[in-house]
Each structure stands twice: as C-alpha cells, then as structure tokens.
Structure 1
C-alpha cells in the first residue's frame, strides 16, 4: 500500500483497434507507421516500470478487466467511479470525478514520455489496453505486437504522441460522460497541468535525456501537440536555485478527503 499511496499523489497530475494502413499513415507525421521492432516494446516495458513500478507492460492482457478506447468499458468505468465514491463519501462529486479521470488517463501520458525520450518511437497510444484492478486503480498495459510505431526526431515524436492522446482521451471522456458530468474544459485543464508536471518529473528523474535548458521548448511542443493554450507555459518557473517548478491552475481535490491535504503547488492552498 505504501507504493500505492505515493503513486496516488504523483498521478495528479483491449480489444485493440484495427486501423487499416491508410488510416495509420494519416495518423503519423514525419517518418510514418513502421512495424514495431521487438526491442521497442521490450525497452518500453523496462523503462516504464523503472519510472513507475506499477506501470507494468504485459503481452497478454486480462480481457475481463481491460479498458480500451473502443470498449465496451461501461461496467469498469462505473466500478472505477463507485470505488472512490464509496471509499471517500465525504470528498464529494468533485473529488470522485477528478480521481476517476486521473486514474483513467495517467498511464498513457507517462508512457508517452517514456516512448519519446527513452524508446524514441511512439506506438499508437490511442490503442492502449489498460488493466483495471477492480479496486480503483488502473495500472498495467499492453499494445498489439502488430501495431505501427511512429519514428522521427523529438518534435515529431511529441506530435505523434499528442495526437494519439487527444483521440484516446476524447473517446474516454465521452464514455465517462454517459455516467457522470465531466466537461471538456475540466479535462483539458487537468491535462495541461499534468503534462507539465510529468515533463518536470521526467527532467528531474532523467536530466541527461531532458536537460534543464530544453524544458521550456519541450513544454511548448507538448502543449501544442495536445491542442492546449500556450498560456499554460507561464505556470512553469525557476526558483532561486535555478530548479524548474510549477504552479498548478487545477486542483486534484485530495484536500476534500478526511485524510487529505493541499498539495504544495495547489491553487487553492493559501498558506
């Protein structure tokens, strides 16, 4: 449970879709849609788990508890929301919604960074198969070994990753919206904060792959790839020691729990 509690704060921030070759080529700019090399998937599994131990790649997912872009996901999405609702009734709907959405979306975003900066190739993230443990946690994933991966320079890879994430998140949001009120503006604001938080975490963890002098430019690329306003770059700043920091504009609502508190960079934290 200790690892789970640590990860719970960090994330605040299937059936595989069968696309024909033409659709895949349209999805990727630059060096397009090459068949996955075995080394890519092995490296993704290794580096992803090294970054976050519960982010485990598997070759054969448990289809009974798989969340995919094309579903059907209704029973699992309802179970995910009800877990947080039933275990933290005092936190209210804002927390249940925020927590459920964060759980549903954290993993593809972290994997996007591993793919861009470590593997240097991006799979069709919109086709990710995510595993749900039936106790409020979405962790573990797989990709089809026949999928096409995007290759190119860092900027092109970020474009590929962003495009895939936008498609995935919009489909998942629409599915969630069948059960709860979850506005596009709400999810986009959370995404803007989370992508920049992951960027800084990746920089702090692996500065040799994402040096301090590159953070600002890469932040711009990520925001652009996700179709997010450039103004969010202003939430990043350097402290007196020259370390990159972030002031969030959205709230994870953790403080609403009886055992919760404000995050250090929470916009609601007035202390």
Structure 2
C-alpha cells in the first residue's frame, strides 16, 4: 500500500502566499521573544566564521569552567543548530513550505553567541508537498559541513551532535502538534520517522506516545538517546527527558 505523504497527514489552513515573514510570525508565536527579522541578505548560518566559533567556545568555557570540554563543545553546537532545525520543521509542517537554509543567518550577540536569526525574502517562497525532504536535504548538508569544522576546531563528538540535532527536530514536531488540532499523535509519529530518515538520523532520538493520567488524552514525549551535559554545570540539573536521569535515579535508590 502506498504510504501517505507527510503533507497529506496535516490539516491545512488553505492559506497561500507563504513568505519568509510568515515563518518569522509563526516562530514568534511558537516561542515568545524569539528574535527573527527579515533582511536583504545574510551570511548563511553554517558559514559562521572560525574565529567566531572559537570565541563562542571560549566564552562558554569561561562561563562554566566546572562543566568541562564535552559540555562546552556540545553547547556551542546546540546554540548554532537549534534555530535552523526548528525553523525548517515549522516551515515544512505548518506552512507546507521548504526552508532554504542558505538564506538563513544567525544573529550573534555578546561574545558571538547566537541570540536570534535573520531571513532573506527568498528563504521561504512556495508551498510544496515535498517540503520536508527539500528542507531536510539542505539542512543535513549544511549541518554536516558545520559539524565537520567544529570537530576540527573544538573536537565536537559526531555522535553527540547527531543526537542533539535529532532531539531539536522532534521537539519542534511536538510543538507543531500541540498547536495544530488536525495533526494527531499518530501522524506526528510518522512525521518524526520521516524527518529522522530524511536527515539520516534514524535511531538517534524518538517520540513516545503516552496517555495522560488526568485527562486520558494521548500526548507525545521526547525520548532522547543522548545527554546535553547540562547537569555538569554548577546548579545544573538533568533534563526531564535525559537518558541519564533514569540511571541517576537507579543509583540513588541503591545508595
């Protein structure tokens, strides 16, 4: 039996004329205070200068000296990757439009840390039922280039980088599903499989469907395969979906 295209699983609004400004507005509804702006041209996010990347890493090391290299490198990657991944998923899922990540730039604030994004008018310009695959292809290629550079500059772990990228993609899908009444948990689970496959990240993260004990309604949780190492920071805690959390609870119960 022929499998349904991801766009066929989504209850569309029927809106046309999708633009880069549409995605900026959508992102600001998804995350309050997210700084996105329309500009004539950008330096593509994956072309962030080596000097700027090293400055980001050094700032994180100075800010959290107790956390160690693993955290500094992975946090540097997280700050670079979460916006492109989230925007690509939002554009494909809620606007039925591919995001051309070459037209996406990061806004760098103090100490060169990303604190927003910039889009050109050509970043989002059409509706396309193949928007997921088109967005994922560009994103995968560009993220791979940046990860390779970071691996050389600051010894970023490829496995940890892939897992974190997958986590951001699936987290964005959960956000979409919560705001789209026509997007069921089952359809979102299929989209999760499609995104991970298109990004060549199958098996690096997953969504789990559970039944809410209070309401009885189904909802989705992120089941991560990797740790962001935030717990290594002073006063740091395990994330709710951290795979180390169960291990830590088990060890505590034994002691």
Quickly name the TM-score band, shorter chain normalised: 0.7 to 0.9
Change (3 A) 1:185 1:126: farther
Change (3 A) 1:209 1:107: farther
In structure 2, C-alpha distance between the alignment counterparts of 1:201 and 1:148, rounded to whole Å:
20
2:46 aligns with 69
Conservation of the 8 A alpha-carbon contact between 1:80 and 1:134: no
1:225 aligns with 198
Match of 2:175 among 191, 201, 206: 201
TM-score (structure 2 length as normaliser): 0.79
In structure 2, C-alpha distance between the alignment counterparts of 1:103 and 1:125, rounded to whole Å:
16
Change (3 A) 1:96 1:162: same
2:233 aligns with 257
Change (3 A) 1:248 1:220: same
2:148 aligns with 174
In structure 2, C-alpha distance between the alignment counterparts of 1:221 and 1:107, rounded to whole Å:
20
Conservation of the 8 A alpha-carbon contact between 1:69 and 1:128: no
Q: Give the secondary structure class of the aligned counterpart of 2:110.
A: coil
Conservation of the 8 A alpha-carbon contact between 1:40 and 1:119: no
Runs of 5+ unmatched residues, structure 1: 1-36
Conservation of the 8 A alpha-carbon contact between 1:68 and 1:130: yes
**Cα distance per residue 1:149-193 (max 9 Å; x no partner):** 46322xx21111111110111121122223210132221122223
2:134 aligns with 160
Match of 1:236 among 201, 208, 216: 208
RMSD of aligned Cα (Å): 2.5
1:115 aligns with 91
Change (3 A) 1:220 1:168: same
1:215 aligns with 188
In structure 2, C-alpha distance between the alignment counterparts of 1:196 and 1:44, rounded to whole Å:
18
Query: Structure 1 residue 67: deviation in Å?
Result: 6.1
Query: Structure 1 residue 260: deviation in Å?
Result: 0.5
Change (3 A) 1:38 1:141: farther
In structure 1, C-alpha distance between the alignment counterparts of 2:146 and 2:29, rounded to whole Å:
27
Asked if 1:92 is matched to 2:71, the reply is no
Runs of 5+ unmatched residues, structure 2: 1-15, 250-255
Alignment of 1:3-14 (within 5 A): none
Query: Structure 1 residue 96: deviation in Å?
Result: 0.6
Q: Give the secondary structure class of the aligned counterpart of 2:244.
A: coil
Change (3 A) 1:203 1:137: farther
In structure 2, C-alpha distance between the alignment counterparts of 1:113 and 1:92, rounded to whole Å:
31
Q: Give the secondary structure class of the aligned counterpart of 2:117.
A: strand
Asked if 1:247 is matched to 2:226, the reply is no
